[in-house]
Structures are given as structure tokens and as C-alpha cells.
């Protein structure tokens, strides 16, 4: 989300319509505003997310039908789940990694070279995966209301940088938003309590630090060791204030509509070790990998060697999620090693 005058005007207009329209129409306002926003960024991205949404909505229905207690057919439910899950993962991998694979002279379909990756792809793909997995394991019932599921998938404040929402939590908050009074003071106060510090972190700290960091990183040979070390530290502050500040802003915007989003940061740089850091940094991503990768693989309950394998798989996947190329794989593997060393040395 680009914080320009037009964006602020758009949010203000949508907020006014949302509060003034009847409660039964509020969900429609959320959907139409999200469709307009995504379409204004990229029509192809809008088409893509709508297709993914419909596939996952129907897959959830069939998984629940085949898992029905009265007449269960677990084999068919498993086939639907694995097929839809494989499609989501393959689609994500193709968009993120095909352009990188093409740099080695390997042929890939032109669509992945000529078009930009769909907006918010990683975030709504992980939301879809968590939803289908929860339906398959019967943690939740499949959503029967397409408008509710569509809102869950395309709600525009969280689209481009998360957080990765879980369906039951978002559904509950969405229902609560229908009951809001006209311009509820608590929601406005809470919204701006996120927005104002977020703006300070993003626009005042991160963007100003970025000017210094970019200048040094472009020509590091022109600077001494001390300057480079200080720049690396400033870069650490920049990426935190940029990401966390942005997250606070979008959480605040969502709060104005009465929809609370998942907290994504809890002062991670004050963590006392690397494991605590990952419990405080990009929390929705860390919890996703824990619940849908680490635990299903066996977690730490099947022996030390399996635990080490699972930790490394999680962090290598985390590296792949952040970007394509060997640098991201190495970054993920390093964090996996750091976590394992933390267990050894306490």
C-alpha cells in the first residue's frame, strides 16, 4: 500500500460509506473497496486472487462434504486437499522462482517472465493453505458464505504485507464489525494509536535511514570499516522500522473499520536470544510455519535428529518465502543453525 494523498482519500471515502451504510451492506463495502484497490494496482493481480479464492472456497466445501460424519469418504477428502494444496504451492513457486530459474538459460513459460508477480501472492496463498489445512483436520468448518471468505482473502489493508490471518479469528472480527455504532470512538482511537507511531517509524525513521544506507551500499569501497559497520546497524533499524511501521499503519486502518488484525511484531530487537527473536518478528509467519510445517512434520516429539531436520526445513522454507536465489537459502539455513545452537548452549 502506497501512502499517497489518493490512498488517504480512498480510505476516507470508503470509511464514510462503511459507517453510513446499513450494517447488512458493510461486508459488501469491504469487498468492493478491496476489489477496486487491487484492480487499481493490477487487473491481472485481481483476476489471480479471485481465481485462487474460488478454488479454495470450493475445495473447502468438497473436503468437508467428503469428511462428513454420516457418510465419510476420507480418501476423496485427502485427494481434494492434496490437489488444492499442491496447486497453491506450485503456483507460488512458479511465480517467485521461475524468473530466477530463467536466468540460468532454462526455458520457462513467458507469463512468468513478462508479468510482475501478483500483488500479495505469498500472503493470501499462506492464508488459503492455513484455511484448507484447518478444514481438513476439522479444526474449523468450511465457510459456507462466499462473501465472508472473499473478504477474508482480499481485505485490502493486509494484502501486500500481511499479517497472515487465520480464518476463524478474522471471521469473528468481521462479524463484530457489523455491530459497530456510527463512528465508534474506541475503534477510531485504537486505529490512530497504531497509525501515528507507524507513520513515524515508516516515514520519519525508515525512509530517512534508507537515504544513508543506500548511499553507502551503492559504493561501499568509498567508506571505511567503521562507516560500513554503522551502516549495517542502521540497515537493521531501517528494515525493522519499515516493516513494523507499515504493519502498524495497516493494522490501524483496519481497526478504523472495526477489524483487528494479528499483531506481527513485539519489540524483536529486545529479544534475549534468537528463538525469542523469531517469536517476536513477523509473528504471523513464524506461527504459520510452526503450526503447518514444523508440527505436522513431527515437531520435537520424534527424537533429536527429526527435530533438527524439522528446524532446518522450516528456516530454509522461510528463506525461500522471502525471495529467490542462493542468498535467501543461505540466510534461512543460517537462522536454522542459530536456533539449533541456541538449544545447545541455552
Query: Grid cell 469418504 — which residue?
Result: 73
How is residue 214 written as a grid cell?
543506500
**Which among 196, 248, 258, 254 is positioned nearest to 37, based on CA atoms?**
254
The beta-strand segments (E) located in the chain are none
Calpha distance 308→329 (Å, rounded): 17
Task: Count the residues in the chain.
Answer: 346
Query: Grid cell 504493519 — which residue?
Result: 247
Degrees, nearest 5: CA angle 342-299-244:
60
CB distance 236 to 135 below 8 Å: no
Q: 269: helix, coil or strand?
A: helix
Calpha distance 234→22 (Å, rounded): 48
Residues 6+ apart with CB under 8 A from 313: 293, 294, 297
What's the pLDDT at 268?
93
For the residues of 50-83, what is the DSSP string, one character each? HHHHHHHHHHHHHHHHHT-SSS--HHHHHHHHHH
Calpha distance 105→305 (Å, rounded): 38
**Which among 164, 144, 174 is positioned nearest to 254, based on CA atoms?**
174
Calpha distance 245→256 (Å, rounded): 17
Residues 6+ apart with CB under 8 A from 120: 38, 45, 49, 159, 160
**Which among 306, 304, 330 is positioned nearest to 316, based on CA atoms?**
330
Calpha distance 97→137 (Å, rounded): 30
**Which among 254, 57, 30 is positioned nearest to 161, based on CA atoms?**
254
- Taking only the tens of pLDDT, the chain with its 346 residues reads 556 678 889 999 999 998 888 878 888 999 999 999 999 999 999 999 999 999 999 999 999 988 876 667 788 999 999 999 999 999 999 998 888 887 788 887 888 777 788 999 999 999 999 999 999 999 999 999 999 999 999 999 999 888 999 999 999 888 766 555 556 677 788 899 999 999 999 999 999 999 999 999 999 999 999 999 999 999 999 999 999 999 999 999 999 988 889 889 999 999 999 999 999 999 999 999 999 999 999 988 888 899 999 999 999 999 999 888 889 999 999 999 999 999 888 7
Amino acid at each position: 500500500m502506497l501512502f499517497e494523498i489518493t490512498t488517504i482519500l480512498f480510505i476516507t471515502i470508503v470509511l464514510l460509506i462503511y459507517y453510513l451504510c446499513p450494517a447488512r451492506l458493510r461486508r459488501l463495502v469491504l469487498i468492493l473497496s478491496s476489489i477496486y484497490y487491487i484492480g487499481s494496482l493490477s487487473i491481472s493481480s485481481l483476476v489471480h486472487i479471485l481465481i485462487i479464492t474460488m478454488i479454495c472456497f470450493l475445495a473447502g466445501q468438497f473436503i468437508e462434504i467428503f469428511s462428513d460424519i454420516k457418510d465419510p469418504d476420507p480418501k476423496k477428502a485427502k485427494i481434494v486437499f492434496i490437489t488444492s494444496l499442491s496447486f497453491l504451492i506450485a503456483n507460488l513457486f512458479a511465480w517467485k522462482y521461475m524468473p530466477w530459474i530463467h536466468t540460468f538459460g532454462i526455458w520457462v513459460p513467458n507469463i512468468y517472465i513478462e508479468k510482475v508477480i501478483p500483488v500479495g501472492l505469498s500472503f493470501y496463498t499462506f492464508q488459503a493453505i492455513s484455511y484448507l489445512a484447518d478444514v481438513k483436520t476439522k479444526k474449523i468448518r468450511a465457510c459456507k458464505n462466499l462473501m465472508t471468505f472473499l473478504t477474508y482473502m482480499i481485505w485490502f489493508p493486509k494484502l501486500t504485507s500481511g499479517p497472515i490471518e487465520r480464518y476463524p479469528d478474522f471471521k469473528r472480527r468481521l462479524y463484530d464489525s457489523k455491530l459497530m455504532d456510527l463512528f465508534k470512538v474506541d475503534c477510531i482511537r485504537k486505529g490512530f494509536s497504531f497509525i501515528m507511531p507507524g507513520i513515524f517509524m515508516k516515514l520519519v525513521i525508515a525512509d530517512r535511514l534508507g537515504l544513508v544506507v543506500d548511499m553507502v551500499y551503492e559504493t561501499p569501497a568509498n567508506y571505511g570499516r567503521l562507516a560500513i559497520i554503522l551502516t549495517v546497524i542502521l540497515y537493521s533499524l531501517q528494515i525493522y522500522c519499515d516493516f513494523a511501521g507499515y504493519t502498524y499503519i495497516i493494522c490501524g486502518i483496519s481497526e478504523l473499520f472495526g477489524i483487528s488484525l494479528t499483531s506481527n511484531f513485539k519489540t524483536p530487537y529486545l529479544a534475549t536470544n534468537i528463538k525469542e527473536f523469531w517469536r517476536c518478528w513477523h509473528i504471523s509467519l513464524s506461527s504459520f510455519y510452526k503450526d503447518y510445517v514444523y508440527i505436522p512434520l513431527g515437531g520435537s516429539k520424534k527424537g533429536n535428529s527429526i527435530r533438527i531436520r524439522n528446524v532446518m526445513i522450516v528456516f530454509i522454507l522461510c528463506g525461500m518465502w522471502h525471495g529467490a536465489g542462493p542468498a535467501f537459502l543461505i540466510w534461512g539455513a543460517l537462522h536454522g543453525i542459530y536456533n539449533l545452537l541456541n538449544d545447545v548452549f541455552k
